[in-house]
Structure formats: structure tokens, C-alpha cells
Structure 1
Amino acid sequence: MTNSLIENIIHEYKNDQESVYQTWFLNNEDRLKAFRTIKSGINDVIRSIECRSFGNDFKGSPLEIVITAISEQKQVFEGASHAFFWKPKLRIPDIYENETNQLAFGRFLKSCTQASTEKQIIEEIAKLDKVQIKGLGPAVANILYFLHPTLFPPFNTAIVNGFNFLFNRKIKLGSWTQYLEMRESILEFNEKHRSFFSKDFGAIAGLLFEVGSGRIIIPENAEHVMKLDLRSKSDKSRKKRHKEVIEDLEAANEHSEMQYHLARLGTSLGYKVWIAQNDHKREWNNKKLGEFSLPSLVLKDIPKPVLDTVALIDVIWLDHNQEIVSAFEVEKSTSIYSGILRLQDLSLSLQANSNRFYLVAPDKREKEIKAQLLRPSFCQTGSISLSYMLFSDLRCDCDAMCKFGHNSSVLDKIAKTVVHM
């Protein structure tokens, strides 16, 4: 394939407003939040394995939280959880009932979180591969990507298909050796075309995904697309993608509206307000959200990695001593898991136990919130006082709370809690 043809393909991919590149890779808000919360979730997986409390099924395990948060990261990660479902008849992936394999998986994850070079991680991959855990293959690379996005690309069927079409190769699923071969070619290609892509392999992985799924047609996949009638599937995919883009825009607007109400309420109650760093330029009611916010977030005795995560929490109220009173995560369409993890991360970093934390979500997500808050892994947190509010209540009662409220206790009028039995 000539350089000019490759560049045309890359331009088509990058300029398509509904491509993975535009809808996910450049969507820094969700991406930044995802990396930090997924890494926090991986640490929970490691701890649960070391404490022998991981469980014997994917469902209900801390790994489910991590993989679900990954699979919710737009189209390129759809289906990421399938490889980790426990299939009892096939005994795969054999990390739920085999303690030796489970411990090996935990050691692998821990080593990868602590590693700083590709050589170290490749050595850990070789160790894991040597154990030959049945059913546990390169799908784990999706976890690696969120730990080391500039070193390891994600991995799924569509990405492999796109790679084979674009590079005229025959890489197969299920082999760590072949994944590493694919990675080497991606590294070389990404470096050669660095001006078009990024150090983060999410950009090029998105291109491979679009080619592999038939959304971008190239000479090498044209026959395959026609033979398998992927054209009609591609058309359906385009319509689905268009619908998702429209829904994302609507979600962003409603998200800003809720931040606006919370900021206005916090200000009227006499608190200083922090709006998520990446949302300062968003607008609602002809006002930039940053107008309600402190210019920078300064918190005492909180490590910088945690502060980086806290700075992305949607709304925080602080008292005159710059101490956190309440924190709010607005979950219009993003993962409930992620919101809980960020608030939990903040809670564990604060010594005081008088703080109140809230999820703010659409009415239609109330059942989902209840289900997540009743998960064993969240029930055991103990130190976090977590309630939730619905959009309709905040929207309807904000003016009244601004007028008659004296402090954060006014939220008790609309906040709800989940009772653990």
C-alpha cells in the first residue's frame, strides 16, 4: 500500500466527526477519568487476590468493575468483558476457581502497575504466558492499555482484522506471541506516521478498529466486506454511531446543567465551589461553569496522584478553610462504576468522616445506581457516606434550596441512600 493511500485513509479516519478518533480519542474528559479510575480498580483486584477475597466468578468480583468500565469506553472497547466471563463448562478463563492461576494473574497485574518500561512488562507477559492459564489470552492487553497507553495497544477481533487488512498479515486471536508481533508492527507504523497519530496507541487502535469493522473501506478489505455483507452491517453501525454522537451531545448539555445547579446552590450556601478542571469552559444558561469555580484546587495532605483524580470530580463544595464539605459526580451516560471509584478514592484520602458524597444521575438510572451501591465491593468501603440525587429533583428544587437552605444539610431533602441489609 502506497504512502499516499495510507495518508488518505488516515485523513478519512481523523476527519470523520463520528469516528472513534473524534468521539473517543479526542474526548479527553472521559478518557482522563477512565485511566485513573480503571487503575484504581485494578489495584482493588490485586488486593482482593492477595487477600483471597476475589471470589470464584466474574460476576460480583472487582475484576467485573474494571472490565465493565473499560467496555464502556466507546465503540472500540465494546465486548471487552466477554473474554473474562466465567464459562464453567469450558473452565475458562481459569482464574476464578484455580487459586494458583488466580495468584499468577494477580502477580502479573501488580508487576505491570509497578513497571515503568516495556521490557519489564514484556517479561511479565512471558511469565504469564508460561503459566498457560486456560482461556486467559491477549484480551488482558485491554487492561495493559489503560496502565501503559503509550506502550501497549488494546486488542480485540476488529482490531486484529483491521491490522491484518492494513498490513497484509495473518495475526490470530488468542496468542500472546502474535499479539507482541502485532504490537511491534504497530509501534513501527505509529512512529513512521507520528505526525498523524499520537504516542497514545488509542489513536491508531481506533483506525484498525474502523478498518476491521468495515466502517472504513480499503482495497484490502473490500472483498471481505462484500462477501460477508458487512456493508449493511456497516450502514447499521454508522446509524448507531450517529445516534450515539447525538446522545453524547445531549448528555454533555444535561451534564453541564446539573453542574450549573450544584455550583449555584453551593455558592448560595456560602461555600467555595470547584468545577472539574476540564469543564471550566463549558456553558449553561449563557454562563461558563468556570465563573463559579475556584481557579485552582488546593487540598492539604492529599498525594498528587489522588489530587489529579479529585480535580476531575464534577463539583466540590469547600468551606472557608478549604476543607471539602461535599463532592458530586454527575453520571448522565458515563459509568456509575467510575463515579463511585472517584468518590471512594477521595473519601479514603480524607481523615474526617463528616464529608458527604453524592452521585447525581437521570431518573432512569436510579435502579442501576441502587444495584451498584449494593455490590459487595462497595458495601465494604465503610468510610464513605454515599448518597444519590436524581436530575428531576435537583432541577425542580434548586431554586427553593438556594432560597431557604443554610448549609449542605439542605440536600437531605432530595438525597437518597441505599440501605444495606
Structure 2
Amino acid sequence: MDAQITDLPTLIARYKSDSESVYNTWFVGGEARMKAFRSIRLGVRNTVSAISAGTFGNDFKGSPLEVVLAAITEQKQVFEGAAHPFYWKPKLRIPDIYENEVNKKAFGLFLNACLNATQEGQVLAEMSRLAALAIKGLGPSVASIVYFLHPTLVPPFNTAIVNGFNTLFGAKLKLGSWESYFAMREAMLRTNEQHRMLLSNDLGALAGLLFEIGSNRIVLPGNADSVLHEVQEVAQRVAKKRHEQTLHDAQEASEHTQTQHVLIRIGRALGYDVFVARNDRNRTCGGDSFAMLTLPRLPALALPVDVRQTVELIDVLWFSKGGTQLVCAFEVEQSTSIYSGILRMKDLAMSIPDQQSHFYLVAPEAREQEVVAQMLRPAMQGGGDSFRLGYLPSGELRQQCDALCRFGVDRSVLLKMARSHNLT
């Protein structure tokens, strides 16, 4: 299949230059995307473990798979409906991986094999095996999970992406067809190879372009008249919604930065060394440069390389002065995944079990019930005394910043504000 337009580089340039495209708001501009990969991998591993142990359950809700899909669906518009194919529809008995133990175990084996695969052929073989099983209701939508395990090999698959592909390539692929998915993947790999210098090894960049075309946010020159005639009002609503979302994201990013600034100020006032997420060091707030107020690099904790890379993305860390004792870790979640934040901090806690550290989720008061509910999930429990987890309301924290800096002696100043179950 060959693209129906001859000037694909120009189309890619339009896509990349649009500040509100998913390329800029998600692929290269989404901080949450960077943090999601390891958290989703951990969630998939938990799903495999639960299926193996017989504790997965017989419904999507409450299962570790729900945690995985919740983290995926929060990856901006591209994955907005990624969880829908996995909802248990009892009247239709689909997808048949909840009540059917044979299918459930096959799904677990598939996820485990994809987790451990190191080569393209292994991933494709597993996807082909799953397709051959023809599990009722379980189709190529699983690609949206596997993408986060192998982003250079497996593109995501949803309605808008398929529509965009069909429009760009003049194809007639079907959403629920494995055959269609494999055909789309091959064409995407070939196109991505031809235009890799304009896109990325990560297939998410090209998938985002197809998503924009399929959502009628990007209209192809040869398709303009018919598209604008048929869906002009829809396209305008999509554009308006995207613009509003972009403004909302910008506001949340500002509040996120303000909250990080408050945590940096309080930590320094209490006499701690402070580390801020490596991708946030170039930020400023209130005239203060984060780089000037924080450690230039993460202290020498005995962490595996992959864990260390994740820890370096935790929003704010407090360390004992001049030492390597982790005092507190903070994840600021204005609207991003609560699950991912807890998983990152739990991963850190399990890697340094002998340090009596405190871990906090910092989120708006409006999210308190959601935060507490996620803290109490069975999948988020465990770790004993090494995982002291609490919730701090970000609005109150910002309001009380000066008082905490002035009257606080050590990390205990946070305890009266925190909602927690095992902080001491």
C-alpha cells in the first residue's frame, strides 16, 4: 500500500509545527508519556503475576489490568478509548478472558512473552499465536498495551488511527481484524523507515499523525472538499476541544511547576538536599531557577539502571544533607495517573528497603477521594514499613508554604497535613 499523497514530508511538517497536535502535546511535549512506560510495564507484570497466582478475578474492574489501561488512557487523546475493548460485557461474554480460565491463562502467557521478548520476531510470533486463538472479543486492541512494551515495533490500534490510515493509504482496513492490523503495521514500518529523519524510531509519532488525520483535525489536500463538506462542524468542534484541552494542560503544567517550587522551598528550609526530576531542571518559578536550588544529579543510591532512570523522573526528592539517605519522595499529580505515581514510588521503596523514607502523592483537593481509593488498591499495598505512603493536598501545601518553611524542623511538619495510613 502506498500513501495517496505525494508530499508526505510536507504533511509531517504541518503535523509537527502545530503546537496543539498530539505530536507536541503528547509525543514530545507530554511529561506523563516519559513516566508511563516503566509504570505500564510494571502494571503488565502485576497482571501476569495475578493471572499466574489465580488472583486476577473475573471482571475488568478491580483487576490489575484495569490499572494498566487507566495509565494508558491518560496518555492524551490518542489512547482515550483504549480501555473500552477490555471492559467486561457480561451479556456478550466478551472479552472472554475473565470467566474462561483457559483464555485468561493464554492472555497471561501472551503478556509475559511480550514482556520478555527482545526481538521483533518474538513479538510478532506471540501476536500471531494470540490471533490464532480467536478469543472472543479480544482483538488487535491489545496492541495499545504492547506498544508501551515495544514502541519501535508495535504501533497502537484504534478507530481514529485506522480511519487515518485508510484515508492516507486509500485502504479499507477493519478495526477488529488481526489481518488488517498486521497489514497496517507493515505499511507503517515501511513509511516510518522512509521518513525516519522526520519522525522517530518510536512508532507513536506516525500513529499520532494517523490519529490526527482520522480525527479530521488534519485534512489531506485531495480529500479536503469532501471532508470539509461532510464533517466541517465536527472538525471545528474537535479543534475547539483540542484548543481548550491545550489551555487546560498549560494551566495544569503551571500549577505543577508551582507545587514543585513549593516542595523545593520547604525541603531546603528544613535543611535537606533537594533533587528535582531531571526533565524539570530547566524550569523556573517565581524568579527561582530549579537548577540553582537543587542537586545537579541523583545521589549514588544502589539502584538497578532501569529503576534509577525512573527515579530520576520522580517530581521531587528530599535527601539528608550531604548524604544519600532518602527522606521524602513526592509525585505531583494534577491530572495524570495516580496509579503510575504510586508504582514509581513503590518501585523506589522496594529498591531501598532499609531507608525509612516517606512517600507522598501531591494532588488537588478535588482528587482526594480518587487518590485514597488508589492508595487502598490491593495492587498498591505491600512493602510493609518500607513504603510509607501519604496524600498531600496541593492547594493547602501552596497556601501553607511560608509557615512550613518558617516553623518546620524536619519532615514531621508534613504529617498534620497529610492523609495517610502508615506514616509515622
- Give the TM-score category using the shorter length: over 0.9
**1:385 equivalent in structure 2:** 388
Q: Secondary structure of the residue that 2:235 maps to in structure 1?
A: helix
Larger CA deviation: 392-401 vs 370-379? 370-379
**1:8 equivalent in structure 2:** 10
**2:115 equivalent in structure 1:** 113
**In structure 1, C-alpha distance between the alignment counterparts of 2:234 and 2:62, rounded to whole Å:** 33
Please report how far the alpha carbon of residue 264 of structure 1 lies from its aligned counterpart in structure 2 after TM superposition: 1.0
Q: Secondary structure of the residue that 2:415 maps to in structure 1?
A: helix
Q: How does 1:17-416 map to 2 (within 5 A)?
A: 17-27=19-29, 29-219=31-221, 221-222=223-224, 225=227, 229-320=230-321, 321-352=323-354, 354-382=356-384, 383-416=386-419
Please report how far the alpha carbon of residue 219 of structure 1 lies from its aligned counterpart in structure 2 after TM superposition: 4.6
Q: Secondary structure of the residue that 2:420 maps to in structure 1?
A: coil
Q: Secondary structure of the residue that 2:374 maps to in structure 1?
A: helix
State the one-letter code of the partner of 2:411: S
Q: Is the 8 A contact 2:41 2:149 kept in 1?
A: yes
**In structure 2, C-alpha distance between the alignment counterparts of 1:393 and 1:75, rounded to whole Å:** 31
Q: Is the 8 A contact 2:95 2:135 kept in 1?
A: yes
Larger CA deviation: 68-77 vs 3-12? 3-12
Percent identity between the two aligned chains: 52
Q: Which digits, 9 at most, give the CA deviation of each residue in 1:144-198, with x for residues without a partner? A: 1101111111100110011011011111111222211110000111111122111
Q: Is the 8 A contact 1:277 1:311 kept in 2?
A: yes
Q: Which digits, 9 at most, give the CA deviation of each residue in 1:249-291, with x for residues without a partner? A: 1111111111111111111111111100000001101112122
Please report how far the alpha carbon of residue 230 of structure 1 lies from its aligned counterpart in structure 2 after TM superposition: 2.5
Q: Secondary structure of the residue that 1:53 maps to in structure 2?
A: coil
**In structure 1, C-alpha distance between the alignment counterparts of 2:14 and 2:132, rounded to whole Å:** 41
The TM-score with structure 1 as length reference comes to 0.95
State the one-letter code of the partner of 2:166: N
Gaps of 5+ in 2: none
**In structure 1, C-alpha distance between the alignment counterparts of 2:4 and 2:186, rounded to whole Å:** 20
**In structure 2, C-alpha distance between the alignment counterparts of 1:130 and 1:73, rounded to whole Å:** 30
Gaps of 5+ in 1: none
**In structure 1, C-alpha distance between the alignment counterparts of 2:270 and 2:340, rounded to whole Å:** 28
Q: Is the 8 A contact 2:339 2:374 kept in 1?
A: yes
**In structure 2, C-alpha distance between the alignment counterparts of 1:89 and 1:299, rounded to whole Å:** 54
Please report how far the alpha carbon of residue 4 of structure 1 lies from its aligned counterpart in structure 2 after TM superposition: 4.9
Larger CA deviation: 408-417 vs 217-226? 217-226
Q: 1:2 to 1:112 in 2, by over 3 A?
A: closer
Q: Is the 8 A contact 1:259 1:289 kept in 2?
A: no
**In structure 1, C-alpha distance between the alignment counterparts of 2:73 and 2:383, rounded to whole Å:** 24
Q: Is the 8 A contact 2:4 2:168 kept in 1?
A: no
Q: Secondary structure of the residue that 2:198 maps to in structure 1?
A: coil
State the one-letter code of the partner of 1:398: C
RMSD: 1.7
Q: Is the 8 A contact 1:358 1:388 kept in 2?
A: yes
**In structure 1, C-alpha distance between the alignment counterparts of 2:234 and 2:378, rounded to whole Å:** 39
Q: Secondary structure of the residue that 1:386 maps to in structure 2?
A: strand
State the one-letter code of the partner of 1:276: A
Please report how far the alpha carbon of residue 374 of structure 1 lies from its aligned counterpart in structure 2 after TM superposition: 2.4
Please report how far the alpha carbon of residue 381 of structure 1 lies from its aligned counterpart in structure 2 after TM superposition: 5.0
